[in-house]
Amino acid sequence: MASSASPVVVKAGYSFFGPDLNRQEAEIPSELFTHLYAGFAVVDKDGQLNIPEPYSELFGGFSKTVQVRNPRVKTLLSIGGEGADLSAVVANRDSRAHLITDSIDLAKKFGFDGLDLCWLYPSKANQKEPLASLLIEWRSALDLDFKKTKKPANNLLLTAAVFHHPGIPGTDGKITFDYPTQALSDNLDWINVQAIDFYTPSNSSERTGPVHAWKTRPMDMQNRCGIKSARPATNKLTPMAYRDIQEELRRGTYETVYDKEYYAVYSHKINGEGWICYDDGLCIFEKVSKAIDDKLGGYFAWRVGADDVNWTLSRSN
């Protein structure tokens, strides 16, 4: 979900560039989105920002390509991504300055409308203040740049992808990092809350639950969506694209359950040896409706290119 103070409902999606890239940007139905993210720019230990060489042309042409179908869609360059450790850069003032300067220059060079910090995730208590400093310095630099040029195109957005709770737990379940919530509120246009991985083999080995959960409060646990495992799950979580899930289910060896209270769907093998949790078109429609009813700032798809050939999930919003 996207959380924002803006009256405009954000309908966003992340597009990943990587070895498993199998959907072209020109295929994305950008008319269904207000904002699209291109990920991910890479940060070295000194704060220098780089575009992965095999995908430099794709990043460079991303904005123009998706704006062919929807000239009004805004594009953002996402920085970091899964597995990126930004702790050393964020902790050093000079490195932060390098990152900020490079990000603004790259956004202008490639025609992006904004920048996104995708640090998944901070893990130590001493990273809170440096993260706050980065956001404050970044916003100041963006405001100064716009003030100098007075060009609307230079009035860049600034967002961040964050964990689904203000505090991030360690492997023992104890909170090891707290977000600087005031700095997030003061300096970002909105945050994209990663409402995923509530239940995984590492934190819930004997009871399944919706990976993309809606109800996660302690009082909701009594009627928790899911099934009890016959034996503890292996510590293995395998991401699957929606099109691949559809192909797997066509084998006819799964039972599919839809939980109306959680807006969740899951399929488990009839022999009990596997479990797939995912969002289908109905789930997304229900969750989006709930988000709008609750007056959230919007919603986002974590990986647009993982949709099926008909863009079923993207069209369900």
Count Cβ atoms below 10 Å from residue 306 Cβ, excluding itself: 21
Q: What is the CA radius of gyration of the chain?
A: 20
Q: For position 196, what pLDDT does the model report?
A: 79
Answer yes or no: is pLDDT of 224 > 60.
no
Q: 237 and 123: one domain?
A: no
The DSSP symbol for 228 reads B
Position 209 in a domain: no
Task: Kindly state whether residues 116 and 247 are assigned to the same domain.
Answer: no
Does residue 213 lie in a domain region? Answer: no
Whether residue 210 lies inside any domain: the answer is no
Mind listing the pLDDT tens digit for each residue in 261-304?
Answer: 778 888 888 876 778 888 899 989 988 998 888 889 999 999 99
| 39 and 78 part of one domain | yes
CATH number for the domain harbouring residue 91 = 3.20.20.80
DSSP conformation class of 288: H
166 shares its domain with 76: yes
**pLDDT at 230 exceeding the cut of 50:** no
CA 6 vs CA 9, 73, 222, 297: distances in Å: 8, 16, 36, 7
149 and 80 housed in the same domain: yes
Query: What pLDDT was estimated at residue 154?
Result: 76
**211 belongs to a structural domain:** no
Assess whether 47 and 85 both reside in one domain.
Answer: yes
In terms of domains, do 243 and 230 share one?
A: yes
In tens, the pLDDT along 38-62 reads 999 999 999 999 999 889 999 999 9
**Within a domain: 158:** yes
The domain tally of the chain equals 2
Domain range for 270 is: 218-277
- The answer to whether residues 269 and 308 belong to one domain is no
Would the pLDDT of 222 be above 60? no
Verify that 291 and 154 share a domain, yes or no.
yes
Given this model, what pLDDT does residue 215 score? 60
Same domain, 272 and 289: no
Q: What's the rounded Cα separation, in Å, for the pair 107 and 34?
A: 18
Cα gap 168→43, rounded to integer Å: 23
243 φ/ψ angles, rounded to the nearest 5 degrees? -65, -35
Residues 32 and 90 grouped into a single domain: yes
Give 86-119 pLDDT, tens digit per residue. Answer: 999 999 999 999 999 999 999 999 999 999 999 9
CA distance linking residue 227 with residue 214, whole number of Å? 17
In a domain, 199, yes or no: no
Q: Has residue 161 been placed in a domain?
A: yes
Element (H, E) at 177: strand 175-178
Same domain, 189 and 248: no
> Would you give the distance in Å from CA 54 to the centre of its chain?
23
Q: Is residue 142 part of a domain?
A: yes
